[in-house]
C-alpha cells in the first residue's frame, strides 16, 4: 500500500564505524516477530535527541531526557515494539529504568549511559522481563552492518522498513550517514517522529549535537503528519561516532558543517517522507506548500490545517477535485486578518483559484488529472508576505479506518 516506497537496498545502508546493532525476537506482544533492538556505541561518540512535546509523554521519553541531561555520554540504546510504556504512571518509569539497568549490567555500563525507547500500545504494562530475557540474543546479533534488520525490528503498523544512507566528503575524508525510522499512524511529530535514529561516523563536537538534532528534526520529522495525533513516544536520536579522520565540526555554518548537515538532512527527510508514504491507509503523498505569508509560522499553520482536514484528505483519496475544501481549511487555520481575496490556489501547475474565487481559466479535467497522480503538490499563495513553509501528508482512505479499528486485535 505504501506510496512509491520500496524496501531499502542493503547496499545503500552504510555501516557506521563505532555503532553496532543487534536485533532479537523477544515475544513482547506477538511471537516470532523482531521486536527488540539494541544499539551499541563506542566510547567517544556524541549523542543527542529531540522528543515529543506531548504532555502525556511516555516513561522512556522521560528517562531519555533525564539520561541525556546527565551528560555522562550515551553508550547503548534499547528499543522495543509491541508496547509504548506510555500512560503507565510510576510503574512505567520503574520498568523503563529496570530495562536500562539490565542492559547496562550486561555491558558493564552505568544505567544512565543507556537510552530506552518503546513503541506500541498505550496504557498497558511494559513486559520488561521479556525484554530482559531477550537481551542476550540481541547482543549476540550485534554488528555494524545490521541497519536493515534494525529498521525491521522497530516496525509496528509499518508495511515497509524505512532506512536510508548517504556518503559525503568532509575535508577530503569520506563520511557515512545511515538512519532508520518507523511510524505510520499517530503521526504529527512535534519535535521528532515516532522513532528515528541516525548515525554518522563524522566528527562533531558534543556542544553542536543538540543544535544538529533540532535542525534536522525541524526540516524533516517536524514537517510531516498522517492523522494529526502527536504521539506520546516521538523520539529522534542522532549519533556521531567521531571515527572519521577529519577535524571535528564545531559549527553548522562552516563549509564542512553545511556539507554534513545538508547530507544528514537529506537522509532525515527521506526517513520522514517514508513515514508519510507508509502512512496508515495512504494511497497518495501530498506536499502542501504555503507561500506569501507574513511569517513561516503562519504558513505552517495554514499547511497543517489543510494537511489535517479529513474532508481534504478524503477528496484526495477519491481523486475528486472538490478543492473548495482546501479554501475552507485555509479560512479556519487561525490567521485572524486573512484577506480571502488575496489568495491563489494551485494543484501542481494547475491554477485552481485566483483572488479567493475560482480561476475563470480553471478546467475541472485539469484538476482531475493531477488528483489522480500518486504524488501531488498543493500550493497556496497567501499574498501577504514573503515567507513560506511546507508540510507533507497523505490521504485518508477506508484502509485507515480499518487499520485503526483493528490495531489491537
Catalytic residues: 193
Residue number, 87 or 383, with CB nearest to a second copy = 87
Does residue 398 sit in helix, strand or coil? helix
Whole-number minimum distance, CB 97 to a second copy, in Å?
Answer: 15
**Total chain residues near a second copy (CB under 8 A):** 71
Q: How far is the CB of 178 from a second copy (least distance, A)?
A: 30
> What are residue 45's phi and psi, to 5 degrees?
-80, 160
Evaluated on CA atoms 42, 48, 53, 56, the torsion sign reads: positive
The C-alpha cell at 289 is 506548500
355 or 363: whose CB is closer to a second copy? 355
Contact status, residue 5 vs residue 127, Cβ threshold 8 Å: no
Judged by CB, which is closer to a second copy: 36, or 312?
A: 312
The footprint of a second copy on residues 310-329 (CB under 8 A) is 310-311, 314-315, 317-318, 320, 322-325, 327-329
Look at strands 344-347 and 350-354 and give their pairing. Answer: antiparallel
Subset of 220-259 contacting a second copy (CB under 8 A): 227-232
User: Is residue 290 close enough to count as binding a second copy by CB under 8 A?
Assistant: no
For residue 212 the three cell numbers come to 544538529
353 near a second copy (CB under 8 A): yes
What residue has cell string 505569508? 293
Give the interface segment with a second copy, choosing from 12-20, 85-93, 103-111, 137-145 (CB under 8 A): 85-93
Contact call for residue 366 and a second copy (CB under 8 A):
no
Quick check: 309 binds a second copy (CB under 8 A)? yes
Phi and psi based region of residue 328 (left: phi greater than 0; alpha: psi -120 to 50; beta: remaining): alpha
Tell me how far apart the alpha carbons of residues 308 and 402 are, in angstroms, rounded to a whole number: 19
Which DSSP symbol is given to 125?
-
How would you label 158-196 residue by residue, b for 16+ Cβ within 10 Å and e otherwise? Answer: bebbbbbbbebebeeeebbbbbbbbbbbbbbbbbbbbbb
Footprint of a second copy on residues 44-63 (CB under 8 A)? 53-57
Does residue 115 sit in helix, strand or coil? strand
Query: Contact region for a second copy (CB under 8 A) — 117-125, 205-213, 247-255, 258-266?
Result: 117-125
Cell numbers standing for residue 115: 537510552
**Length of the chain measured in residues:** 409
Q: Does 398 bind a second copy (CB under 8 A)?
A: yes
- Candidates 5-13, 208-216, 287-295, 398-406: pick the segment binding a second copy (CB under 8 A): 398-406
Q: Among residues 363 and 398, whose Cβ is nearest to a second copy? A: 398
Among 27, 248, 356, 383, binds a second copy (CB under 8 A): 356
Q: What are phi and psi of 393, to 5 degrees?
A: -150, -175
Site for a second copy in 169-228 (CB under 8 A): 185-186, 188, 190, 227-228
- Judged by beta carbon, residue 76 or residue 194, the one nearer a second copy is 194
**DSSP at 224:** B
Residues 121-140 that bind a second copy (CB under 8 A): 121-125
Q: Is 276 in the site for a second copy (CB under 8 A)?
A: no
Amino acid at each position: 500500500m505504501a506510496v512509491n516506497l520500496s524496501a531499502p537496498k542493503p547496499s545503500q545502508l552504510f555501516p557506521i564505524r563505532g555503532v553496532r546493532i543487534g536485533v532479537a525476537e523477544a515475544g513482547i506482544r506477538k511471537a516470532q516477530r523482531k521486536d527488540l533492538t539494541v544499539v551499541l556505541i563506542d566510547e567517544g561518540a556524541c549523542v543527542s535527541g529531540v522528543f515529543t512535546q506531548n504532555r502525556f509523554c511516555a516513561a522512556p521519553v522521560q528517562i531519555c531526557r533525564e539520561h541525556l541531561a546527565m551528560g555522562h555520554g550515551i553508550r547503548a540504546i534499547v528499543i522495543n515494539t509491541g508496547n509504548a510504556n506510555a500512560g503507565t504512571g510510576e510503574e512505567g518509569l520503574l520498568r523503563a529504568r529496570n530495562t536500562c539497568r539490565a542492559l547496562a549490567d550486561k555491558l558493564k555500563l552505568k544505567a544512565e549511559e543507556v537510552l530506552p525507547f518503546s513503541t506500541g500500545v498505550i496504557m498497558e504494562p511494559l513486559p520488561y522481563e521479556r525484554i530482559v530475557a531477550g537481551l542476550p540474543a540481541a547482543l549476540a546479533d550485534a554488528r555494524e552492518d545490521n541497519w536493515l534488520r534494525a529498521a525491521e525490528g522497530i516496525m509496528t503498523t509499518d508495511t515497509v522498513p524505512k532506512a536510508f544512507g548517504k556518503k559525503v566528503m568532509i575535508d577530503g575524508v569520506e563520511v557515512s550517514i545511515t538512519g532508520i525510522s518507523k511510524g505510520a499512524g499517530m503521526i504529527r511529530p512535534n519535535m521528532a517522529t515516532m522513532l528515528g535514529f541516525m548515525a554518522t561516523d563524522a566528527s562533531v563536537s558534543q556542544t553542536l549535537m543538540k543544535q544538529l538534532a533540532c535542525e534536522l528534526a525541524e526540516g524533516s520529522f517536524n514537517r510531516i503528519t498522517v492523522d494529526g495525533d502527536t504521539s506520546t513516544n516521538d523520539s529522534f536520536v542522532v549519533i556521531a561516532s567521531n571515527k572519521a579522520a577529519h577535524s571535528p565540526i564545531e559549527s553548522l555554518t562552516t563549509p564542512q558543517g553545511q556539507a554534513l548537515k545538508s547530507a544528514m538532512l537529506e537522509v532525515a527527510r527521506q526517513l520522514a517522507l517514508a513515514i508519510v508514504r507508509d502512512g496508515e491507509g495512504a494511497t497518495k503523498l501530498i506536499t502542501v506548500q504555503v507561500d506569501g505569508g507574513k511569517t513561516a509560522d503562519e504558513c505552517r499553520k495554514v499547511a497543517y490545517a489543510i494537511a489535517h482536514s479529513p474532508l481534504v484528505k478524503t477528496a484526495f483519496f477519491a481523486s475528486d477535485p472538490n478543492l473548495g475544501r482546501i479554501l475552507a481549511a485555509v479560512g479556519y487555520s487561525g490567521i485572524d486578518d486573512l484577506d480571502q481575496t488575496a489568495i491563489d490556489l494551485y494543484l501542481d501547475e494547475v491554477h485552481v483559484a485566483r483572488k479567493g474565487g475560482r480561476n475563470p481559466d480553471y478546467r475541472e479535467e485539469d484538476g482531475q488529472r493531477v488528483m489522480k497522480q500518486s504524488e501531488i503538490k498543493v500550493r497556496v499563495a497567501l499574498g501577504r508576505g514573503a515567507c513560506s513553509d511546507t508540510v507533507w501528508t497523505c490521504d485518508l482512505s477506508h484502509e485507515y479506518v480499518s487499520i485503526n479499528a483493528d490495531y489491537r486485535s
